């Protein structure tokens, strides 16, 4: 299926949905502390999306082919969980790290983003993993412009992560986003420059690298006798994993990061120097 290009009017719809998705994470930030459960975080997000934003949480009931219906309004991926962690009643502990992934539907448009949070006092190793993953995402964002290739984006992310001794998860990738939750193109977070699809103005897609402190291998989460929930993916070696995500727009002159809001973490200095700063 070809990649859909957004018109100027459609981009305005994307801007709103993406800003709202980022504002959900702004709202959640002060609540992410030791003792809170991820289920309570999910409840806070659900109420905010539905009652304040008058929008729809895209993940709730989402059921791609071969998967059970997703049971929550966001994903909470804790420590060794790579992605798609389902909120539950276990309190988070001091030193945990958690990725919170939110997708909001507003007026039919999807805004998709995620952030890493340090729960209390995280270790130096955990803080470094989260920071390098954030930088890797921005290294990829900086490659987005008309005429560039998706391979340029993935290569920049891979080089940065691997230079610091980390590994890139290969089985999951970024994706086009718009009227549908997942559209073309697929956005790999590794690869060779000058390869894959050419970027043209009007494309909207996510950049969301998943970076492991250990090996890149992953597996379904089947701890003990607990049945697999159909969603949760963990690192095979139980090392920590981190992920950040923005939705971006290819403009006539470069890139616009759509999932920025007043509470967004500032871009790294190298991205600020390139002019990519929150509005």
pLDDT at 161 over 70: yes
pLDDT at 200 over 80: yes
233-235, strands of its sheet edge to edge: 81-83, 233-235, 218-220
Tokens 């691997």 belong to residue? 162
Domain presence at residue 1: no
CA distance 124 to 213: 12
Residue 239 resides in a domain: yes
The domain in which residue 192 lies consists of 8-273
Strand partners, 195: none
Return the pLDDT at 203: 98
Mean pLDDT calculated for residue range 211-223:
93
- C-alpha pair distances (Å), 5 with each of 144, 177, 184, 202: 15, 10, 10, 5
Q: What is the CATH number of the domain that holds 67?
A: 3.90.230.10
Q: Is 278 a domain residue? A: no
Indicate if the pLDDT at residue 275 is higher than 90.
Answer: no
Give domain status of residue 205, yes or no: yes
**pLDDT computed for residue 3 by the predictor:** 84
Domain presence at residue 279: no
Is residue 260, in this structure, part of any structural domain at all?
yes
Tell me the C-alpha distance between 263 and 131, whole Å: 17
Per-residue pLDDT of 180-198, as tens digits, reads: 999 999 999 999 999 999 9
Write the DSSP assignment of the chain as a string of letters. -PPPPPPHHHHHHHHHHHHHHHHHHHHHGGG-STT-BHHHHHHHHHHIIIIIS--EETTTT---TTSPPP-SSSEEEETTEEE-PPP-SPBP-TT-EEEEEEEEEETTEEEEEEEEEE-SS--HHHHHHHHHHHHHHHHHHTT-STT-BHHHHHHHHHHHHHHTT-EE--S--EEE-SSSSSEEEEE-SS--TT-SPBP-TT-EEEE--EEESS-S-EEE---TTPPP-SS-EEETT---EEE-BEEEEE-SSSEEE-S--TTSPPPPHHHHHTT----
**What would you measure as the largest C-alpha separation in the chain, in angstroms?**
53
Q: What average pLDDT does range 66-74 have in this prediction? A: 96
Residue 3 falls inside a structural domain: no
Q: Is residue 2 part of a domain?
A: no
What would the mean pLDDT of 111-135 be, rounded to a whole number? 98
Asked if pLDDT for residue 144 goes beyond 60, the answer is: yes
DSSP bridge partners of 77: 99
pLDDT classification of 277: cutoffs 50, 70, 90 = low
Task: For residue 197, give Cα distances in angstroms to 2, 21, 118, 242.
Answer: 10, 27, 35, 26
Angle between helices 150-163 and 124-141 in degrees, nearest 10: 160
Residue 33 has pLDDT above 90, yes or no: yes
Instruction: Locate 217 and state its tokens.
Output: 């291998």
Number of domains in the chain: 1
pLDDT recorded at residue 105: 98
Q: Percent of the chain, pLDDT > 90?
A: 93
* Across 67-87, average pLDDT: 98
Residue 249 burial by CB count (10 A; 0-12/13-18/19+): exposed, middle or buried?
Answer: buried
């Amino acid at each position: 299926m070809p990649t859909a290009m957004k018109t100027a009017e459609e981009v305005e719809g994307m801007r709103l949905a993406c800003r709202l998705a980022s504002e959900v994470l702004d709202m959640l930030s002060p609540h992410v502390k030791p003792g809170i459960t991820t289920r309570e975080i999910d409840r806070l997000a659900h109420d905010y999306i539905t009652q304040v934003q008058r929008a729809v949480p895209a993940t709730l009931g989402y059921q791609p082919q071969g998967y059970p219906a997703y049971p929550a309004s966001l994903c909470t991926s804790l420590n060794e969980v790579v992605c798609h962690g389902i909120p539950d009643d276990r309190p988070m502990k001091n030193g945990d790290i958690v990725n919170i992934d939110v997708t909001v539907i507003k007026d039919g448009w999807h805004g998709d983003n995620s952030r890493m949070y340090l729960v209390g006092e995280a270790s130096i190793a955990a803080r470094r993993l989260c920071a390098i993953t954030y930088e890797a995402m921005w290294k990829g964002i900086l490659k987005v412009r008309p005429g560039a290739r998706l391979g340029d984006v993935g290569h920049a992310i891979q080089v940065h992560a691997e230079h610091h001794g980390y590994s890139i998860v290969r089985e999951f990738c970024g994706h086009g986003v718009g009227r549908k939750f997942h559209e073309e193109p697929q956005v790999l977070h590794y690869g060779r420059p000058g390869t894959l699809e050419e970027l043209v103005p009007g494309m909207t897609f996510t950049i969301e690298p998943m970076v492991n402190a250990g090996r890149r291998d992953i597996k379904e989460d089947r701890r003990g006798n607990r049945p697999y929930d159909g969603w949760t993916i963990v690192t095979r070696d139980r090392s920590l994993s981190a992920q950040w995500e923005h939705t971006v727009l290819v403009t006539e002159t470069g890139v616009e990061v759509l999932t920025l809001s007043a509470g967004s973490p500032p871009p790294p200095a190298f991205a600020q120097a390139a002019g990519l700063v929150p509005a």
